[in-house]
């Protein structure tokens, strides 16, 4: 029997070369990287990359916008020596990762240049292993918020010369104005420049669009810092009372048991606190907040932006109808709408095998639905009760919140 699992034979040798460039252009390339450029019949790159690598004997092609439009033509050259020019290390927030999804690793040769992160650490004397390396290039500024922890060192790839000023404003707004910003411009080339200032007094002008930002985070006790554990202060969430309170939220996040790369459905999301805190647990986590009220849906988006997860997807609509066409969930939380016919069954059916469902209710009618589900499907059922000390005249006593019934279930 012949093995016909591959529709086309693989080339005998790598045909695609990715060359990382620095601001020093050809001068910073190894002999092998230079030879790869000279041996290519076609070279892809941005205008800046092609200028840095000049002189080039091969045909050159500037990336279109969007860049994905060039991929069919690139793949059609399979087996013909082709080169791609990239910035620094192509696999550190570079084009290399995207190309590797299209071309097998054994069909490529890669010559990385020191990344902007490596150069910045060398300039600042920061150990890279103790520094968070992030990018805002093509990403929303609030993504930075979870990383703004006092004592942290951050290196940030920026979108252009306006980014450092925007970051300084964000730091001031959050009570972190004593943080030090260092702008490293055009590192490795003749135009290299380094400037440093506190966020409170940041006023640099004419910043080179090619810059990397170093941040040493310093905050006062009153600074607005997103904590690393679940159960953020309720006051941090704009809400109309439809909010999973901090103590119950922390227990619920533990019951949801997030794992790297998972997707959550947050049904009846209210203020969005569960899906927001889910996404804060790890940058790979995704969530869809489903909310029937247009006012609440808009509020969820604002909360997500303020707390550093602007990529939270908010779906305005009522379950179960609003669940149609959503990405398959690994985990589902039902915080509202549990008594609506079809909500629980639709959520259970949508889960991947091994997926987890957690539902919280406070009403007797909702509890009846969960008791019936527990009787049919099994799982785990618990009652959560929290009491807080409140003033009773000049003294204090316990004031109990409404108890929460929680059902957890794992799909076989």
CATH of the domain at 354: 3.40.50.150
**Is 314 within 8 Å of 301 (Cβ atoms)?**
yes
Residues in the chain: 412
pLDDT score of 191 more than 50: yes
Q: Could you give the C-alpha distances from 237 to 14, 24, 35, 233, 313, in angstroms and in order?
A: 53, 48, 57, 8, 17
On whether both 243 and 373 belong to a single domain, the answer is: yes
pLDDT tens per residue, range 222-261: 999 999 999 999 999 999 999 999 999 999 999 999 999 9
Average confidence (pLDDT) over 39-63: 94
pLDDT score of 386 more than 60: yes
pLDDT score of 2 more than 50: no
Taking Cα atoms as reference points, which of 314, 341, 345, 317 lies closest to residue 332? 345
On whether both 181 and 315 belong to a single domain, the answer is: no
Query: In 147-286, where does DSSP find H-type helix?
Result: 163-173, 246-256, 273-280
Strands 193-198 and 286-291: unpaired
State which residues form the domain around 294: 234-410
pLDDT score of 122 more than 60: yes
On whether both 246 and 204 belong to a single domain, the answer is: no
On whether both 238 and 344 belong to a single domain, the answer is: yes
On whether both 180 and 271 belong to a single domain, the answer is: no
On whether both 341 and 376 belong to a single domain, the answer is: yes
- The CATH number covering residue 152 comes to 3.30.950.10
On whether both 292 and 380 belong to a single domain, the answer is: yes
Residue 8 belongs to some domain of the structure: no
Structural domain total, the chain:
3
Rounded CA separation 325/336 (Å): 20
Residue 222 belongs to some domain of the structure: no
On whether both 296 and 393 belong to a single domain, the answer is: yes
Residue 368 belongs to some domain of the structure: yes
- The CATH number covering residue 95 comes to 3.40.1010.10
């Amino acid at each position: 029997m012949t093995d016909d699992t591959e529709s086309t034979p693989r080339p005998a040798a790598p045909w695609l070369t990715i060359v990382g460039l620095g601001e020093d252009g050809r001068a910073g390339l190894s002999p092998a990287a230079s030879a790869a450029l000279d041996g290519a019949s076609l070279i892809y790159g941005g205008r800046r990359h092609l200028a840095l690598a000049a002189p080039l004997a091969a045909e050159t092609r500037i990336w279109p916008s969007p860049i994905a439009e060039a991929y069919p033509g690139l793949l059609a050259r399979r087996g013909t020596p082709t080169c791609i020019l990239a910035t620094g290390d192509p696999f550190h927030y570079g084009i290399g990762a995207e190309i590797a999804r299209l071309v097998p690793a054994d069909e490529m040769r890669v010559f990385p240049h020191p990344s902007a992160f490596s150069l910045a650490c060398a300039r600042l004397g920061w150990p890279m292993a103790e520094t968070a390396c992030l990018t805002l290039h093509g990403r929303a500024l609030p993504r930075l918020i979870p990383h703004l922890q006092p004592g942290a060192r951050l290196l940030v790839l920026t979108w252009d010369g306006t980014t450092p000023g925007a970051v300084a404003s964000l730091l001031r707004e959050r009570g972190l104005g004593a943080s030090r910003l260092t702008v490293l411009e055009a590192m490795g080339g003749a135009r290299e420049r380094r400037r440093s200032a506190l966020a409170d007094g940041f006023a640099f002008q004419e910043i080179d669009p090619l810059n990397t930002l170093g941040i040493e985070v310093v905050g006062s006790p009153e600074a607005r810092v997103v904590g690393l554990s679940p159960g953020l202060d309720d006051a941090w969430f704009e809400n109309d009372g439809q909010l999973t309170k901090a103590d119950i939220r922390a227990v619920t996040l533990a019951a949801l048991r997030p794992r790297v790369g998972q997707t959550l459905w947050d049904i009846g999301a209210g203020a969005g606190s569960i899906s927001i805190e889910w996404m804060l647990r790890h940058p790979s986590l995704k969530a869809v907040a489903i909310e029937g009220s247009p006012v609440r849906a808009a509020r969820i988006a604002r909360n997500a932006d303020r707390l550093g997860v602007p990529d939270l997807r908010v779906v305005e609509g009522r379950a179960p109808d609003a669940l149609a066409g959503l990405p398959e969930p690994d985990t589902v939380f039902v915080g509202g709408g549990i008594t609506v016919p079809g909500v629980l069954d639709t959520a259970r059916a949508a889960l991947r095998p091994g997926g987890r469902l957690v539902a919280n209710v406070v009403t007797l009618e909702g509890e009846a639905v969960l008791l019936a589900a527990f009787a049919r499907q099994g799982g785990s059922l618990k009652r959560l009760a929290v009491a807080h000390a409140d003033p009773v005249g000049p003294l204090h006593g316990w004031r109990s919140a409404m108890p929460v019934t929680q059902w957890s279930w794992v799909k076989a």
